[in-house]
Amino acid sequence: MSAQPTLKHLYESILRRHASAPAISFDDQTVTYDTLDAQSARLANALVELGHDREDRVGVLMSNRPEYAVADIALARAGLAKVPLNDMLGPDDIEYMLANSDATTVIAGPNFVNTVRDIVPAVPTLDRIIGIQTADQVAETAEYHQFEALLDAATPSTPDVAVTADTLAGVFHTGGTTGDPKGVKHTQENLVLNAHAHALELNIQPRDKLLLMTPLPHSAGLILAGGLTQGSHHVVTQGFDAERALRLIEQRDIAWTFMVPTMVYRLLDTLDGQSFDTASLETLVYGAAPMKPDRLREGLDKLGDVFVQLYGQYETPDLITVLPKTAHDPADEQRLSSCGLPTAMCEVKVVDDDGEAVPPGQPGEILARGAYSMTGYYELPEVTAETMDDGWIKTGDIGKRDEDGYLYIVDRDADVIISGGMNVYSVTVEDVVQQHEQVANVAVIGIPDDEWGEAVTAVVVPEGDTIDRTAIRSFCADRLADYEVPKTVEVVDELPTTPYGKIDKKQLREPYWEDETREVS
């Protein structure tokens, strides 16, 4: 066996090591590690028998369920590359990602078989569908196989497939907030190191009970891999409901969970009106966006010292920096707004436009270099060359570091507004507008303006039925530089979001820029 790590070897080792221990619970169903071992081996062998070649791309499209883990592990054991497809994606996005990755097969959940059937004619490489809990109903557009029938007919023996550390293991698509989604390539070795990093950096302890409520084809799938290395028991749900989450924490003795900030806020609001025993909860990881400092302090008061923040992106899968529990000091307002220190397997630097490191406190672009960083973008060598240099990846985020090395996100590079020749960081303005009592949510964008070039515009969701635009601008004028104060305040019922839960500023900007020559970033 090669000394270089492979995901295939990692999974085969941990599945046998934890054997009869529970691996995944979903509704009333619990799957053990040895069942995962047998089912993933059967599926891997079936995929090989169907004629897949090493590194073929295989889409995985389903809502959270145990079969996702079976498919994920099977693809690694068969030497194939997964293309995770978030179940919140629309048909156009699914079609784009399958075509962009040259996928040959899709493993589809029961709600998505027909979606894939309709997409097949538009994706030249796609000719095979494997459907979960569905009848043989799509033969007219593609070769079709029932998931369960494939498993029944295949052998559970260890797949005899030659896999190396540099075998392509996944093509993950970026959120597309600044353009078309790009396929991020990761090898078997990348994902082995990333799984171990998730366990190490996010305090996943041996045999912990993890509650996973976000989509497994996104961040939760990386967490699942980390939990598997520890023999964890993963309680999986489809969708999020705050009361149900609290009930599961109480009834299942959940020790660890991951949420985006809006989920945390709903959890805290639910705790205002009801009583739940959350004593078992030791770690609550949050990411995708920063938490409001006042809500974070509320969380520390209600749940205790359980919070850990992660910052990352698919190019360096979800783990560039981590703000640990010990740094969540409610008395330290500045530190609470940090996204933490570089992980043990990642380096970070902040540079100016010439690529030179900037001193503490000065904003610049964040560059990251990690042991598990991508090998490049799929079929985009020029973009890869523009993004990577000597392993350093341009994140597209603007940030700064303090004297202790803690990193602070200032803005996305594409979201910086140039107004009257001055750089306005949208996050800075949003942080102030968000503090106004009439504002429930806000996104700040730049819109075309003859005088200023771009006018700072706050798009707000009101907390109640009415909102005073003048009062909000006055509130900002007392707290921001003149050039940062929004010229206008627009009111909407809700802010558009990407399938990954982030505010879609590209969509917000489009109506204002559609008749302009400037390209919407």
Three-state secondary-structure class, residue 346 = strand
Output the pLDDT for position 188.
98
Same domain (yes/no): 19, 58: yes
Q: Report the length, in residues, of the chain.
A: 521
| Nearest in space to 365 (alpha carbons), one of 400, 315, 334 | 400
Q: Where is 76: in which H helix or E strand?
A: helix 66-77
Q: Is residue 518 part of a domain?
A: no
Output the pLDDT for position 140.
64
Same domain (yes/no): 173, 250: no
More confidently predicted of 303 and 521: 303
Q: Determine whether 89 is exposed, middle or buried from the number of CB atoms within 10 Å of its CB (0-12, 13-18, 19+).
A: buried
Same domain (yes/no): 248, 379: yes
CB-based contacts of 481, cutoff 8 Å, min separation 6 = none
| Nearest in space to 215 (alpha carbons), one of 26, 63, 67 | 63
- What is the CB neighbour count within 10 angstroms for residue 421? 8
Output the pLDDT for position 515.
62
Same domain (yes/no): 131, 154: yes
CATH code (residue 112): 3.40.50.980
Same domain (yes/no): 246, 393: yes
Let me know: does 264 contact 240? Beta carbons within 8 Å: no
pLDDT tens-digit series, residues 458-500: 999 999 888 999 999 999 999 988 889 999 999 999 999 877 6
**Which of 383, 412, 441 marks a domain boundary?**
412
| Nearest in space to 226 (alpha carbons), one of 251, 197, 262 | 197
Q: Is residue 22 part of a domain?
A: yes
3-state DSSP of 113-160: HHHHHHHHHHCCCCCEEEECCCCCCCCCCCEEEEHHHHHHHCCCCCCC
- Strand 57-61 and strand 105-108: the pairing is parallel
Write the single-letter amino acid at 155.
T
- Strand 233-236 and strand 256-259: the pairing is unpaired
pLDDT band at 518 (very low <50, low <70, confident <90, very high): very low
Percentage of the chain lying above the pLDDT 70 cut: 96
**Which of 386, 412, 438 marks a domain boundary?**
412
Same domain (yes/no): 122, 30: yes
Distance, CA of 142 to CA of 138 (rounded, Å):
7
To the nearest whole number, what is the mean pLDDT of the chain?
92
pLDDT tens-digit series, residues 349-371: 999 999 999 999 999 999 999 99
Provide the token pair at 485: 């104060």
pLDDT tens-digit series, residues 89-104: 889 999 999 999 999 9
Q: Is residue 225 part of a domain?
A: no
Output the pLDDT for position 400.
96
pLDDT tens-digit series, residues 316-349: 999 999 999 999 999 898 899 899 999 999 999 9
Task: Report the range of poorest mean pLDDT among 122-136, 187-201, 495-509.
Answer: 495-509
Distance, CA of 222 to CA of 170 (rounded, Å):
12
DSSP state letter for 174: P
pLDDT tens-digit series, residues 410-443: 888 888 898 877 888 888 899 999 999 999 999 9
Rounded mean pLDDT, 298-319 = 96
Rounded mean pLDDT, 368-392 = 97
Output the pLDDT for position 520.
31
List the domain range (segments joined by +) for residue 265: 240-412
Question: What is the number of domains present in the chain?
Answer: 3
Same domain (yes/no): 380, 245: yes
Q: Where is 266: in which H helix or E strand?
A: helix 261-273
Same domain (yes/no): 91, 24: yes
Q: Is residue 212 part of a domain?
A: no
Distance, CA of 381 to CA of 384 (rounded, Å):
5
Tally of CA atoms within 13 A in the half-sphere of 498 that contains its CB: 20
Output the pLDDT for position 343.
98
pLDDT band at 142 (very low <50, low <70, confident <90, very high): confident
Output the pLDDT for position 412.
80
Same domain (yes/no): 474, 399: no
Output the pLDDT for position 175.
77
Let me know: does 307 contact 288? Beta carbons within 8 Å: no
| Nearest in space to 80 (alpha carbons), one of 51, 122, 121 | 51
Write the single-letter amino acid at 95.
E
Same domain (yes/no): 56, 168: yes
Distance, CA of 491 to CA of 441 (rounded, Å):
10
Same domain (yes/no): 312, 373: yes
**Which of 412, 447, 477 marks a domain boundary?**
412
Tokens 């959350």, residue located: 278
pLDDT tens-digit series, residues 222-270: 999 999 999 999 999 999 999 999 999 999 999 999 998 889 999 999 9
Q: Is residue 230 part of a domain?
A: no
b/e per residue 477-495 (b: at least 16 CB within 10 A)? eebbeeebbbbebeeeeeb
Q: Is residue 327 part of a domain?
A: yes
| Nearest in space to 108 (alpha carbons), one of 44, 65, 169, 160 | 65
pLDDT band at 519 (very low <50, low <70, confident <90, very high): very low
Distance, CA of 328 to CA of 321 (rounded, Å):
14
Tally of CA atoms within 13 A in the half-sphere of 11 that contains its CB: 31
Distance, CA of 201 to CA of 319 (rounded, Å):
8
Q: Is residue 213 part of a domain?
A: no
Tally of CA atoms within 13 A in the half-sphere of 58 that contains its CB: 33
CB-based contacts of 449, cutoff 8 Å, min separation 6 = 419, 455, 487
Same domain (yes/no): 398, 335: yes
Output the pLDDT for position 521.
32
Percentage of the chain lying above the pLDDT 90 cut: 78
Q: Is residue 371 part of a domain?
A: yes
